[in-house]
């Protein structure tokens, strides 16, 4: 079976309006010639195009999907939130919270974005594809049930996961969020649940600045089922692989997920304008390989990546291609032309050792918690 590749050009037609990166126009801030909105369709469109021109698309099962239904969305979002979003979308657009702007028709595009994730999960669960990549846009991992945040308007992965549970019954799912920003929305939605292990690797206190601490372990029935791995700014390839080996993989092996979902932000690369980490395409390739091994051990290979952030139009396509190549077991002739420069910028060994010691000292579960799964 091939790897499923879920995309739809209509997702690229979402517009957050004129910005300079994430800031609305304001005094002293000259508009950018390119339109300026950091969550640009070009970043994702260039990834899709590289998948095509590299020849990788020939090895994938490319498809679109129906939009998530109102019932799907209501599994996560209150009706009042959806009603307000739809009403603004039918007019000229608006802002659903904090840096969560959209234009006319944004509701339908966001529901389609969640629908791509829903189809990717369902097809992977039912073995219609080997594994999957959903090029969802707008992203979802900052979105709270009743408030949009950080370019995110609907909680794509939770909407997709709850739709899968409605269809397939109870199941243990792990969500690994390697977007460089904290996956606060996903964390909040599953914070008191034991059937969903949420893990976020992120640049410490980048965005949101007040969430993502290592001691946020979940609450109630969910205590021990949330793992934050805040990484120091400047960390690179080694910091991410150390975090995977020391914290993420042990947590996954303890939890024994039946499906693994990657919140696949590609903004930890060294070229990203909204963060200060130094990962490269090879980092994403290796992390994907590690999760495929865990998925093969516990989840019959069921692994789905859902696109989140990533704001370097130049570099995101190479990072995304590395993830999709790995999922598909293919290696195209594409070589990341930025690799040499980024490797030259990796932090010195004493920084790497300091970060590793910090990771080794982090408790990933409550002291009294047996953590033997659910």
Q: Could you tell me the end-to-end alpha-carbon distance of the chain, in angstroms, rounded to an integer? A: 30
Dihedral over Cα of 294, 221, 126, 55: its sign: negative
181, 238, 298, 365: which one binds Zn ion (CB under 5 A): 181
Whether 195 and 164 have beta carbons less than 8 Å apart is answered as no
Nearest distance from C-beta of residue 99 to Zn ion, angstroms? 11
Looking at the Cβ atoms of 4 and 140, the one nearer to Zn ion is 140
Burial class from Cβ neighbours inside 10 Å (0-12, 13-18, 19+) for residue 343 reads: middle
The DSSP letter of residue 56 is G
**Two tokens, residue 332:** 């195209």
- Bridge partners (DSSP) of residue 19 are 24
Min CB(204)–Zn ion separation in Å: 14
CB 284 within 8 A of CB 133: no
In angstroms, what is the minimal distance from the CB of 247 to Zn ion? 20
Q: Find the shortest distance in angstroms from Cβ 302 to Zn ion.
A: 25
Q: Closer to Zn ion at the Cβ: 263 or 334? A: 263
Least Cα distance to 252 among 291, 306, 212, 201 occurs for 291
Of 179, 242, 325, 336, the one binding Zn ion by CB under 5 A: 179
d(CA 87, CA 323): 37
Residue 22 or 255: which CB sits closer to Zn ion? 22
In the complex with Zn ion, the residue whose CB is nearer, 57 or 316, is 316
283 contacts 268 by C-beta, under 8 angstroms: yes
Residues 6+ apart with CB under 8 A from 40: 34, 311, 313
Least CB distance from residue 266 to Zn ion, whole Å?
Answer: 9
Least distance (Å) between residue 212 CB and Zn ion: 12
Residue 39 or 123: the one with the smaller Cβ distance to Zn ion is 39
How far is C-alpha 126 from the chain's CA centre? Answer: 22
- Residue list 227-266, contact with Zn ion (CB under 5 A): 265
Q: Rule CB under 5 A: which of 99-158 touch Zn ion?
A: none
Task: Give the x-and-dash track for 309-348 against Zn ion (CB under 5 A).
Answer: x---------------------------------------
Q: Which is nearer to Zn ion, 102 or 255 (CB)?
A: 102
Selection from 356, 266, 361, 256 nearest residue 309 by Cα: 266
Nearer Cβ to Zn ion (179/313): 179
Provide the b/e sequence for 46-64 (b: ≥16 CB within 10 Å).
Answer: bbbebbeebebbebbbbbe
Q: Which residue is nearest to Zn ion (CB)?
A: 309
Binding window for Zn ion (CB under 5 A); candidates: 45-53, 175-183, 185-193, 353-361? 175-183
Rounded least distance, CB 206 to Zn ion, Å: 8
For every residue of 29-47, DSSP letters joined together read -PPPTT--BSS-HHHHHHH
Site size toward Zn ion (CB under 5 A) is 5
The structure tokens listed for 14 are 């979402």
If the CB atoms of residues 151 and 318 are measured against Zn ion, the closer one turns out to be: 151
Residue span binding Zn ion (CB under 5 A) among the ranges 39-47, 282-290, 307-315, 322-330: 307-315
**Residues forming the active site:** 142
- Give the C-alpha separation, 183 to 202, whole Å: 8
- Contacts with Zn ion, 259-298, as mask; x by CB under 5 A: ------x-x-------------------------------
Partner residues linked to 24 by β-bridges: 19
CA gap 168, 123 in Å, rounded: 12
Query: For residues 167 and 68, what is the distance between their CA atoms, to the nearest angstrom?
Result: 13
Distance in Å, CB of 180 to Zn ion, minimum: 5
Binding site for Zn ion (CB under 5 A): 179, 181, 265, 267, 309
């Amino acid at each position: 079976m091939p790897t499923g590749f879920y995309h739809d050009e209509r997702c690229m037609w979402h517009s957050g309006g004129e910005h300079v990166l994430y800031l609305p126009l304001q005094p002293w801030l000259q508009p950018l010639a390119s339109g300026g909105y950091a969550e640009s369709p070009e970043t994702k469109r260039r990834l899709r195009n590289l998948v095509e021109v590299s020849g990788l698309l020939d090895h994938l099962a490319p498809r679109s999907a129906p939009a998530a239904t109102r019932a799907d969305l209501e599994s996560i979002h209150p009706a009042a939130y959806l009603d307000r979003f739809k009403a603004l979308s039918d007019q000229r657009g608006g802002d659903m919270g904090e840096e969560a702007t959209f234009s006319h028709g944004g509701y339908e595009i966001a529901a389609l974005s969640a629908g791509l994730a829903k189809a990717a999960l369902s097809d992977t669960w039912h073995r219609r594809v080997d594994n999957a990549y959903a090029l969802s846009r707008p992203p979802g991992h900052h979105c709270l049930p009743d408030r949009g945040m950080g370019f995110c308007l609907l909680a794509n992965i939770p909407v997709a996961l709850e739709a899968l549970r409605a269809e397939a019954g109870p199941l243990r799912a792990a969500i690994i969020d390697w977007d460089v920003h904290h996956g606060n929305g996903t964390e909040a939605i599953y914070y008191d649940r034991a059937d969903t292990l949420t893990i976020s690797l992120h640049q410490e206190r980048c965005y949101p600045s007040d969430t993502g601490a290592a001691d946020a372990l979940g609450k109630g029935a969910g205590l021990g089922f949330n793992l934050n791995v805040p990484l120091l700014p400047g960390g690179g390839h080694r910091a991410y692989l150390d975090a995977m080996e020391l914290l993420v993989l042990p947590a996954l092996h303890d939890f024994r997920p039946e499906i693994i979902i990657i919140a696949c932000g590609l903004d930890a690369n060294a070229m990203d304008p909204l963060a200060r980490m130094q990962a490269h395409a090879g980092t994403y390739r290796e992390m994907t390989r590690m999760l495929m091994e865990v998925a093969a051990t516990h989840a019959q290979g069921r692994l789905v990546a859902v696109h989140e952030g990533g704001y370097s139009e130049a570099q995101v396509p190479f990072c995304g291609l590395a993830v999709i190549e790995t999922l598909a077991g293919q290696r195209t002739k594409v070589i990341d032309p930025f690799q040499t420069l980024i490797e030259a910028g990796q932090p010195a060994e004493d920084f790497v050792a300091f970060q590793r010691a910090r990771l080794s000292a982090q408790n990933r579960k409550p002291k009294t918690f047996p953590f033997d799964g659910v």
